[in-house]
A and B are shown apart, each in its own frame.
Chain A
Amino acid sequence: MTPARTYRRYAPATLAQARALAADVGLTLREWGLPEHRVLGWELAVAEMATNLARHAYGDEAGQPPGPMWLDVTWGAEGLCMVLADEGEAFDPAAVPVPPAPDPADPDSWPESGMGLPLIRSAVDRLEYRTEGARNLMTLFVSDPTA
């Protein structure tokens, strides 16, 4: 049976903190003994989620003061669960279209945006998004993180 492990961190939602948070999660998951090739994907997923908050939920690049973000990570019998919470503008990942695969022969198809959500989805088994009161919660599930 997998011993329950938890990680919690608060940070202001800035682009610099998004990267720092992702790096810290990656370090923690490595310390937990999870496989390197999967930790890379989860570190990237957290970076993409947190960057999205900084850019869109609170408008980091518009010079607005950063709002808060909270990350809770648990690893237990039900798998790995990462929840990123914020109090900014809600965002519906289901409304984001999946970009087509780039065509090497067509430079217009080479993406310069829209890659974040597919990268998040590729790293996990399930992605959920919901709002509870003033908080938006994006939850990532991995059923067997040791595989």
Chain B
Amino acid sequence: MHSKTCLRDDHVVMTLSGSLDASVVGVLRHDLEQALSRGVRILILDLSAVSFVDSSGLAALVSTLKTALGRQVEVALCSLAAPVVAVLELTRLDRVFDIYADVAEARAAQGERP
């Protein structure tokens, strides 16, 4: 698992790649917390290069969403690879997350919110 963070104005884009699974979930949670702590209004997670997600990886994303909610930070998922889509749909978490086709769409949609 690798992450790359790009800070822009009121939002941060975090690009995750590789496998989001139990063996890396500690690092994943740490990186997500770091991204949330940037003091931005929107956290966009680009998941285009994620090859695998298990329940531990999903739990880290859900935990981040809950934490973000408490800090008035919006979380958007975008560019979902097929394995991510499948797991989100199976767990019905696709109804919980804001999901967009790509970073530009996520930025535009979140930017329109009051």
Contact = CB atoms under 8 A, between A and B. Distances in A.
A51 B21 contact: yes
Contacts, number: 80
Interface in B47-66: 52, 54-56, 58-59, 62-63, 65-66
A18 B87 CA distance: 18
Interface stretch (B5-13, B91-99, B104-112): B91-99
A115 B22 contact: no
A118 B90 CA distance: 9
Interface in A28-63: 37, 40-41, 43-44, 47-48, 51, 54-55
**Which bracket fits the contact residues of A?**
20 to 34
A115 B23 contact: no
Contacts of B19: 19, 23
B93 to A, nearest CB: 6
A115 B82 contact: no
A112 B56 CA distance: 8
Contacts of A51: 21-22, 54-56
Interface of B: 19, 21-23, 52, 54-56, 58-59, 62-63, 65-66, 69, 82-83, 86-87, 90-93, 95-96
